[in-house]
Structure 1
Amino acid sequence: MQVGYHASHEQFAPSRLLTAAARAEQAGFAAVLSSDHLAPWSLRQGESGLAWSWLGAVLATTSLPAGVVTAPGDRYHPVILAQAIATLTEMFPGRLVPALGSGQALNEHVTGRPWPPKAVRNRRLAECATVIRRLLAGEEVTHDGLVSVQAARVWSLPAEPPPLFAAALSPATAREVASWADGLITVNAPDRDLTAVVEAFREGGGEGKPVHVQAHLSWAPGTEEAEAQALDQWRANALPPILNEELALPEQVDAASQHIGVDGLRSSVWIETDPEWYVERLAAYAELGVDRVYLHQVGRDQERFLDTFGERVLPRLQRRDL
């Protein structure tokens, strides 16, 4: 199992994340994952660089493979995403791992179009995935459905198209996307819930395909600091999907999550101070059949996290030969 670093554009300026990615590589992290937001989750976070510009920079300045979770259909037309994916893959063969998801209103409302219900978004996602895959294969594509494409072609293509992962948070979505996805990316959850998502993906047609997990964590040397930074930066993670995917403004997310306490976060954010605890937790994920875990330190001190985990977590996992 590989352990990667998650670059959270909602929380940090792109320049700082570029430096952090280089530091992650030096510390022994095996990959990097980029969020793809137009807006942060909270006014306290206050950032959101363009992922596709940043991905070009990180692929050029490190040797790490880079994943990204992106949402075709509203803010990004699938033809534009296909062109972006093709360009990066042509320049950096075998290193880009794009994952397609159904998105959140927080980022997609800006086009002014009505925000579809989840079932419609999933159908649109499948259409977009088909369009993108055909374009990456060099086809001229015309499509008229939940998304419209007219005589589109991507001219600068890589020798080999990259795998198209799907992002899913629930067993129902994981089962649905398995029919078209080359792999799955989901988020950390209690083992029972995570196992249900992974099993649904495999039952839906994803057997033998890779599974990646983005793991939110709040590490600090002291418990009080670890809890405080989790609440300050990532309390919205405890909101149910009906809110998390439907609220359109950071101010609304802040208002909806203001009463969440640290106990409400523990099922979705690892809040621990002992590096050995993380060694055991990651080992358990390897036993669940996870191929790659991207660690997202929600605290502001990225550098201390990278150095500590590079010294005290990653070597322990390597010695276990997971």
Structure 2
Amino acid sequence: MTLAGTGAPAWSWNLLTDFQDMWSYPFMVNAFRAGAVVAVVSAVVGWFVVLRRQTFAAHTVSAVAFPGAAGALLLGVSAVYGYFTLCVAAALVIAALRGGGEHEESALTGTVQAFLLASGFLFTALYRGLLEGPQTILFGTFLGITSSQVTLLTVVGSVVLAVLALIGRPLLFASVDPQVASGRGVPVRALSVVFLVLLGAATAEASQITGTLLVFALMVIPAATAQILTARPALSLALTVLLAFAATWLGLTAAYYSPYPLGFFVTTIAFAGYLLALGWRSLSAVLGRAGLPAAPREVPA
């Protein structure tokens, strides 16, 4: 049964039946599997992005995923290769630019970002058979996710998480106080380069679900929300994963039962959680002034 005029399945309010219907299609099973992998990896990497105040770097890497995918399609290869190639390359460029001053880094990064975005639209114009491709690349889709793509996402995601597990403690130290960490022999510069490469790989993963314009939201909003709610690193990280997972799976469900882009739902759900967290912190502060426990202090981000 479909919604009149939209072609989307109708929500029957029988949750068991609705989910059985949705998961009876292999492409939806693949979408939920891929979404789970992307949510976990994006959440863990995004938590460090917010903590390290590298949201501009994350935005740049997500933006260049668009020309990467468009260029790959123009060359006749899978967009997946374009995502990973240009996202990781952009991360390495940002790492190289970090040797200069902050102003120089921002200016050069912004200039390269603008040029690559323009190149992406040129690639889509040259490839006349792309049709719906720009919308899919920019705003994401759950259609056409294959088992091989899920496997690739799982392998890449496992590598990213494994490396983060190895460097997690020194990276946390270097993120909170890089000067003290450097004084104690922590390789702050090397950790920064490795983390940016991991950021590129995670962005390439998430872009295939949320689209290149909205991957930044999935990577940043859950982490920002969690760090509003608690200052404890372990609890904050776990909450970030939970929020990203919920936003992705709820977004997939909403997108299946509507004709609108997946990325819109994922971003809207995540943003709603952020607003609720801000409201909770404000309410807790008011109650705290009345003599009740105040909200936990936010981790610097």
Whichever structure has more helix as a proportion of its residues is: 2
Provide the TM-score with structure 2 as the length reference: 0.28
Relative contact order, CA 8 A, sep 6+: which one is greater? 2
Whichever structure has more strand as a proportion of its residues is: 1
Provide the TM-score with structure 1 as the length reference: 0.27
Asked which structure has the greater CA Rg, the reply is: 2
